Structure 1
Amino acid sequence: MDYKDTNAASTTITYDKGAIEAPTDNIYEAISIIAKRATQINSDLKKELVEKLDEFATYNDSLEEVFENKEQIEVSKFYERLPKPTALAVEEWLNDKVYHRTPDAE
């Protein structure tokens, strides 16, 4: 999924409790599902960021030399400006983009 083209809030906002718990009728279950999705989004974003930063990596044996790579800084700033994974997960939850199921109790 493309997390860059999203309408998720970049700051903290208040959500309607009824809208959050509507799909499951249980606020705790809904929050648990949102938290698991946020963890998935976070790992995807981290993997993508590491791959992009590795393109600009310079390897040397000298610890005294520190290079500031402008491209690395710009990529890092871009990812810092993205909405947090929890905001992305809540937006997906409210727009019914998260698939969830409850295993049948035996």
Structure 2
Amino acid sequence: MSNTPNKTTVASSTVTRDLRDLDVKTENIYESIVIMAKRANQISNNVKEELHQKLSEFASSNDNLEEIFENREQIEISKHYEKLPKPSLVAIQEFLEDKVYYRNPAKEQ
């Protein structure tokens, strides 16, 4: 799975969902929400780490105002990440498309 969400398959804004669609796989809406929340946190952390790695290339020990305003590449990278869909939307879409692996040890016993 890629760290950066695929923009083409995920809605860019909030979508009204039917709750009955979310609990089909787990038979428990709360369990489904926890799974999606944990996946959203994973996505968020991955994207944040990736962004920090890319921006760290531009870090220098002696920043001055001219260098900060002239760094167009850094601005473009930041704009790209701002346009990505929210991690929660990506997590919901992945859950609905069966792209999330999960298990509940309590149910397995």
TM over 0.5: yes
Query: 1:19 is matched by which residue type in structure 2?
Result: D
> 2:26 maps to which residue?
24
Q: Residues 24-64 of structure 1, C-alpha deviation per residue, up to 9 Å, x if partnerless?
A: 0110110011000000000000000000001122221x6xx
Gaps in structure 1 of 5+ consecutive residues: none
1:93 aligned to 82, 92, 95, which one?
95
> 1:37 maps to which residue?
39
Matched residues in 1 for 2:98 and 2:5: separation?
A: 19
Matched residues in 2 for 1:96 and 1:103: separation?
A: 19
Cα shift at 1:4: 4.2
Cα shift at 1:104: 3.4
Root-mean-square deviation (CA, aligned residues, Å) is 1.6
Matched residues in 2 for 1:45 and 1:37: separation?
A: 12
Query: 1:26 is matched by which residue type in structure 2?
Result: N
Cα pair 2:12 2:85 within 8 Å, conserved: yes
The structure where helix makes up a greater share of residues is 2
Bigger Cα displacement from structure 2, 33-42 vs 11-20: 11-20
TM-score by length of 1: 0.89
SS at match of 2:105: coil
Q: In the alignment, is residue 5 of structure 1 matched against residue 6 of structure 2?
A: yes
Instruction: Report the count of equivalent residues.
Output: 103
TM-score by length of 2: 0.86
Matched residues in 1 for 2:5 and 2:95: separation?
A: 17
Matched residues in 2 for 1:15 and 1:72: separation?
A: 36
Gaps in structure 2 of 5+ consecutive residues: none
Query: 2:37 is matched by which residue type in structure 1?
Result: A
SS at match of 1:58: coil
